[in-house]
Amino acid sequence: MSKLFRAVIMGPPGSGKGTISERIAHSFGLKHISSGDFVRENISANTEAGVLAKTYIKKGLLVPDHVMTRLLLPRLEEMTKYSWLLDGFPRTLAQADALNSICDLDVVINLNIPLETLKERLRHRWTHPSSGRVYNMYFNPPRIQGLDDITGEQLIQQEDDRPEALVARLRHYKDIAKPVIDLYKAKSILYTFSDTETDRIWPNISTLLSTKIPIGQSDARCASTH
């Protein structure tokens, strides 16, 4: 059997992780695992970890490492037959070490987007709370203003997407992401993309992945479920 492909996508809030992950899943047939979506699914299903995670998210905090790894690692271990892309995990060095103990990553995509661009994007980001689907009033607007395309339910603007909250969020992201980025740099698997537009970054990511993903890996069974 040919080797499976394991990738992580990192970047600050609003950097386009979700948007680019969807494109990668669609174009290369990788399973897209979003930690945020997975946490929300666990909250909806009232699992033990989901109930615990909710208490932190409600306060605007990150879910503690041991809860996240207990949620995510078994899920990854179930996916040994698939090539996958992880979005939103790892966020901390402890999470990166835990991931490292169960698999070898091939590529880490690191999105480096200017602060002003992030602020502007998040100001116009609308979210469907139960699924985590995101829209942007200009970049990818919903078909009907204010409503989710799939369910027709109301979209909301998340409190922490407001520009005032973003600066603190971004500082926090930088602090905790730096050791993770340094780790992947030292392993020579970090690929950083800097631009203000997803559409300009995408061709470069696509070219990189075309050279890295073994032929025959694109498999309809692996396509994103989102």
Ligand X SMILES: Nc1nc2c(ncn2[C@H]2C[C@H](O)[C@@H](COP(=O)(O)OP(=O)(O)O)O2)c(=O)[nH]1
136 binds, among ligand X, ligand ATP, none (CB under 5 to 8 A by kind): ligand X
User: Which structure tokens are listed for 90?
Assistant: 């790892």
Altogether, the residues listed in the chain come to a count of 226
Residues of this chain, 18-57, that bind ligand X according to CB under 6 A: 18-19
User: Which structure tokens are listed for 204?
Assistant: 């470069």
Cβ proximity to ligand X: between 52 and 147 the closer is 147
Burial class (CB in 10 A: 0-12, 13-18, 19+), 21: buried
Residues of this chain, 162-201, that bind ligand X according to CB under 6 A: 197-199
Please select the residue that binds ligand ATP; options are 57, 93, 103, 165, rule is CB under 6 A: 57
User: Which structure tokens are listed for 13?
Assistant: 């809030």
128 binds, among ligand ATP, ligand X, none (CB under 5 to 8 A by kind): none
3, 213 contact by CB (below 8 A):
no
Question: How many beta carbons lie within 10 A of that of residue 88, not counting itself?
Answer: 22
The residue range among 99-107, 132-140, 150-158, 210-218 that interacts with ligand X, by the rule CB under 6 A, is: 132-140
125 binding ligand X? (CB under 6 A): yes
- H-helix or E-strand spanning residue 34: strand 31-34
Rounded to the nearest angstrom, the gap between the alpha carbon of residue 209 and the centroid of all alpha carbons in its chain is: 17
Q: 209: Cβ–Cβ under 8 A, 6 or more apart, which residues? A: 7, 24, 27, 28, 107
Cβ proximity to ligand X: between 4 and 72 the closer is 72
95 binds, among ligand X, ligand ATP, none (CB under 5 to 8 A by kind): ligand ATP
141, 135 contact by CB (below 8 A):
yes
Q: 97: Cβ–Cβ under 8 A, 6 or more apart, which residues? A: none
81, 29 contact by CB (below 8 A):
no
68 binds, among ligand X, ligand ATP, none (CB under 5 to 8 A by kind): ligand ATP
Please select the residue that binds ligand ATP; options are 19, 83, 95, 110, rule is CB under 6 A: 95
50 binding ligand ATP? (CB under 6 A): no
Please select the residue that binds ligand X; options are 134, 177, 190, 205, rule is CB under 6 A: 134
**Location of structure tokens 């078994």:** 74
126 binding ligand ATP? (CB under 6 A): no
Binding site for ligand X (CB under 6 A): 11, 13-19, 121, 125, 134-136, 138-140, 197-199
The residues that touch ligand ATP, with contacts defined as CB under 6 A, are: 13-14, 17-18, 35-36, 39, 56-57, 62-63, 68, 88-89, 91, 95, 132
